Amino acid sequence: MTVIPLTRCQFLMPFAELHSEIGGPTAALLAKFQLPTSLEEKADHYVPLLPAVRFATAAQQKQGLSEIAFRAAQKTSFDHLSDAMRTRIGHSPTLLLALEQMCKWASVEDTNLRLWLEPCGANVRICSRLLGTEGIPYLEISQWLQNIFVIHIVRQFAGANWSPGVIAFEAAYAPGIEVQSHWPHTRFISGQKASWIEVPRQFLSRLNRTDVVGSNSPETERQPFGSDVVSVLKLTLPAYLDEGGPAITQAAEMMGLSVRSLQRKLSLAGLTYSGLLEQVRFNNAIKLLSDTEHKIIDVAFSSGYADPAHFSRAFRRISGFTPREFRDRHINGTG
């Protein structure tokens, strides 16, 4: 089965910001790699990882941006992690428990991301790999974010100025002077079996420095992400709905399939592409309608409908209620 790695739009946004800051045609470059041209308010939506890496690579080469991955990593913070991950880290009393939660729930950030801990003398290595990306060039772009995301978690326990003694990359990557001057006490190595950073074992018992804001328990457990085409499309399509949703030819290209192969796989699941797209639009609308801050006309456009009347008819056909009736029932607890 072909593995299709997905990443949250949150991790694509720093690269797009860097490209825009120097006057690059960001929307056109995103469109070239079949990525959403408007990333605002899509932080938790998913896009295929490899086109995102190709976008970052092209931005670096076309605009002469040195060390774009390092620069993007500097734009990230603990708050760039998903709500689910931040909640679990925030409720972990020690660094060890936080790292165990991080390893368990890593796929919330990148669907094919795997993290694990390895003892190494007086240290522990926090290792990461993206399944299905072996041999792809410029993967240090992704691996920078893999490592920096772990560093942000450790800093919740070790302090905001902590930096690791070693940062390792799976890619054959040699950091430039700019990177080395920013991390003067860190050794960089490349060509490893995984990307990793080192943390002293004694740090594992350190207590959480953050005050948790919100509920006293993590959100409802999420089911593991599936790797079949239907599961991947359900995660990917919402990021494109406000642009009308991708045509089947674009969806097939994102999945690395021919249109006929995609149709055959969907048929085996009892679906058509138009039917699946309608399901995704409906689920997106349900989510937005549950938040009364969203106007119904905005819900229609954000879910990929050309006009509110079309949205209302489609929504009623599936649910038996108009969007306004559904929202009223949800507010009154009768839905």
The answer on pLDDT for 33 being more than 60 is yes
Cα(41)–Cα(18) distance, rounded to whole angstroms? 18
Cα(139)–Cα(65) distance, rounded to whole angstroms? 16
User: What pLDDT score was predicted for residue 248?
Assistant: 95
* 3 state SS of 85: helix
User: What pLDDT score was predicted for residue 166?
Assistant: 96
* pLDDT tier, 335 (very low <50, low <70, confident <90, very high otherwise): low
**Neighbour count for residue 67 (Cβ, 10 Å):** 18
> With b meaning 16 or more CB within 10 Å and e meaning fewer, what string describes 77-91?
ebebbbebbbbbbbb
* pLDDT tier, 332 (very low <50, low <70, confident <90, very high otherwise): confident
**Neighbour count for residue 128 (Cβ, 10 Å):** 25
> Could you tell me which residues come within 8 angstroms of residue 57 by beta carbon, excluding any fewer than 6 positions away?
137, 138, 141
How is residue 326 written in tokens? 């559904």
- The proportion of the chain whose per-residue pLDDT surpasses 70, expressed as a percent, equals 93
Mean pLDDT of the chain: 89
User: What pLDDT score was predicted for residue 63?
Assistant: 81
Cα(44)–Cα(10) distance, rounded to whole angstroms? 7
* pLDDT tier, 279 (very low <50, low <70, confident <90, very high otherwise): very high
User: What pLDDT score was predicted for residue 284?
Assistant: 92
User: What pLDDT score was predicted for residue 220?
Assistant: 43
> Lowest-confidence range among 108-122, 167-181, 214-228?
214-228
Residues 280 and 314: beta-carbon distance below 8 Å: no
Residues 42 and 239: beta-carbon distance below 8 Å: yes
The answer on pLDDT for 1 being more than 50 is no
Find the mean pLDDT for residues 294-302.
92
The tens digit of pLDDT for each residue in 199-257 reads 999 999 999 876 544 444 444 445 445 668 898 899 999 999 998 889 999 999 888 88
User: What pLDDT score was predicted for residue 210?
Assistant: 66
* Higher-scoring residue by pLDDT: 332, 55: 55
How is residue 170 written in tokens? 């799976």
The H or E element containing residue 114 is strand 113-120
Cα(273)–Cα(252) distance, rounded to whole angstroms? 10
Cα(127)–Cα(114) distance, rounded to whole angstroms? 8
The answer on pLDDT for 60 being more than 70 is yes
* pTM of the entire predicted model: 0.82
Find the mean pLDDT for residues 296-309.
91
* Choices 1.20.950.20, 3.40.50.620, 3.90.1520.10, 3.30.70.360: CATH for 6-205: 3.90.1520.10
The domain limits of the chain are: 6-205, 229-332
User: What pLDDT score was predicted for residue 225?
Assistant: 57
Find the mean pLDDT for residues 272-300.
91
Q: Output the CA–CA distances (angstroms, integers) from residue 93 to 8, 149, 157, 218, in the order listed.
A: 27, 19, 9, 13
User: What pLDDT score was predicted for residue 329?
Assistant: 84
Where do the H-state alpha helices sit in the chain? 9-21, 26-32, 49-63, 68-74, 83-90, 95-104, 140-158, 177-182, 229-236, 248-255, 259-268, 273-289, 296-302, 308-319, 323-332
Find the mean pLDDT for residues 114-143.
91
How is residue 158 written in tokens? 């070790």
Cα(167)–Cα(315) distance, rounded to whole angstroms? 50
What would the CATH number be for the domain defined by 229-332?
Answer: 1.10.10.60
> Could you tell me which residues come within 8 angstroms of residue 263 by beta carbon, excluding any fewer than 6 positions away?
248, 272, 273
The tens digit of pLDDT for each residue in 181-201 reads 999 999 999 999 999 999 999
- Give 177: exposed, middle or buried? Use CB within 10 Å, 0-12, 13-18, 19+: exposed
User: What pLDDT score was predicted for residue 96?
Assistant: 95
